[in-house]
Every structure is written in structure tokens, then in C-alpha cells.
Amino acid sequence: MRHKPLREQVIVITGASSGIGLATARMASARGARVVLAARSGDVLAGLCEELGGPGRAVSVVADVGFREDVQAIADAAIATFGGYDTWVNVAGLTVYGPLSAIAQEDHERLIRTNLWGTVNGSLIAVGHLRRRGGALVNVGSIASDLAFPFQGLYATSKHAVKGFTDTLRMELIAEDAPVTVTLIKPASIDTPLPDRARNYMDRRPTLPPPIYPPEEVANAILHAAEHGQRDIIVGGGGKLFVMGKDFAPGAYDRLASAIIALQQRSEPAEHSEGALHAPRGAGAVRGSPPFPVMRSSAYTRATLHPLVTLSAVAGLAATAALLLGGKPSPRRRS
């Protein structure tokens, strides 16, 4: 199906007060979309709305996506302000660092409520409107939708569940011929404040394993899905290699556990270990402070957003390679 260009769209973005959600809100607004911004940090959202043009261009709703009534309020505000929405993006998410056996039950439950139930609530409410209007649903999962990460076990669990839910919802919408595309975005490690806002049970500050990509790469993939409805998009070629390696040799991937745990810990002692799991803290920044260099972009991801161009380039390279490897034709072949 064909979607409206971004400049004609109203886009709902949850988790809009930091990281990927904040980068997406700014990029969507810069490309002409009107935006409905939702998060728990009302002061950050108020400032962001003013930055993006104020009434008529942006509206904010203070909401906890883990509760359906809050998510319904987001949809109601979009309809009241702009008459509806064309794309709904579920970004809100948090993580907890530490061994599964050490994490308190209430922290397990809170993470699942935000990451999984926030996506379920947003998707089902969004689709109720999009069935009639047409449009795009974009859920932000992770390469943790396909991989396990020790010391982020419940995060990986939630993202596996998001993938299963998203795939099922897509199939049901196809079965009823609903005019809605459903995209799952699967970022690799992204330079956002996620580790700094995490609940942390480790004795060292948490981080994400390299390679690390800029949040604008994810925002660009999200907005591509808003216009083109691609099924799945992995952000970060390194993430794609990890997923392929695990599928090819799952046992070998399991034996990387100690290395993966080590790569998620900085040398500095832990601080601010409560994080933003149960209450909004530390919102307002797009990027974090990773100890590893951040990639400037992802050539792999940008290629997957334009597969025909990629196939043409690959075909051209293959033809060139065949000519070089084949050498000059023999007289018999010329005749």
C-alpha cells in the first residue's frame, strides 16, 4: 500500500523524551510531519513541543505506556488535536543490567510492563484507528529480538516477545486485508542514554557492546517505514553479522557469554543504580556517553532501505568480477 509523504503525516511517537524517540521526533518534524509526543517526563516534552513549533505542529501527552488508559489518552489527544494519525511508533523502552537471579521480581515485572505491554497497548490502540484511516505501525524491537544477552536477560526476553507479537499482529492484519503496514525495527547497539538510565545490579557502570551506531540511523529507518512500510529493518551491519553468526553456530554464540558480559561493563564503579525503571529520570538527551567510538552511519542499513539500488550495485559488481576472472575471450569463443 502507498503511504502519505511525511510532510502530510501526523506521527505518534512514544518514548519521545530521550534517545531514539527524541531523535525521531526531531527528524520527523524537520521533514514536515506533525507530531504527537508521549513519555513520562512532562517538562522535557513541553520544551520539545515548543522547539518543534508549538501548537499546530506538535502536542505532548504525559503517559506511562505500561497502562492502557494512558495510551488511550495519547490516541485521544492525537484525534482531538489533528483529527487522527497516520503512523504510530512504539519506542518507549528500558533495560535492567545484572544476572537474572539477582534482579528483584518487581523490576522484572516493571520492565516487561514497559517494553512488552507498552508495545502491545500502543499497537492495539493504534490499529483500531488505522484500520479505518490506513497507515503504518512501527515497533522498535532490537537485535535482542533474535539474540540473547546475558546480564540483560529480561530485556532480551521482552524484545523476543515484541517480535512474536508484532509478527502475529501483521499476519492477522494481512488476513483481514487491513490497510496497515507493520514494521519491526531491530537496532544493534545505539548511542543513547539507555545504559545510563538503566536499573543496574552490577558493581560497574553499564554500557552497550560495540559496534555502536548513531540514533539518527534508527530514526531514519523508522521514518522510512512510515512512508514505505518495510517488514523488518536491522539497524547496524554489526548487528546483522551477530544475528547471522548465532543462526549459523548457536553453540559458539553461547560460549561468548563471558565476553558479552565484559563488554557491557565500563571500568568506572556503578552509580545512579536505580535508573528510570520505576520513575522518570535523566530524560532530555538523544545521545549517551559510550566508552567505545560511535560509527558515523550504517551502510548496511541504508542499503536495505533501497534494495533495488543495492541489487543493481551487486549485479554490476558480479558482472565486473566475472569479466576480470574470465580474462580475454579465446578466438574460438569469438567465432
Show which residues are catalytic: 155
Longest dimension (CA), the chain: 79
Q: What is the DSSP letter of 236?
A: -
In a 3-state reduction of DSSP, which class is residue 21?
A: helix
User: Distances from the Cα of 236 to the Cαs of 123, 149, 295, in angstroms?
Assistant: 25, 17, 9
Q: Would you say 25 and 13 are in contact if contact means Cβ atoms under 8 Å apart? A: yes
Radius of gyration of the CA atoms of the chain, in A: 21
C-alpha dihedral sign at 290, 295, 300, 302: positive
CA distances from 222 to 140, 170, 263, 290, 331 (A): 8, 17, 27, 23, 55
Identify the CA nearest to 60 among candidates 283, 225, 221, 223: 283
Within 10 angstroms of residue 254's Cβ, the number of other Cβ atoms is 11
Which residue type does 236 have? G
Paired sense of beta strands 265-269 and 204-206, if any:
antiparallel
Q: What are phi and psi of 97, to 5 degrees?
A: -105, 135
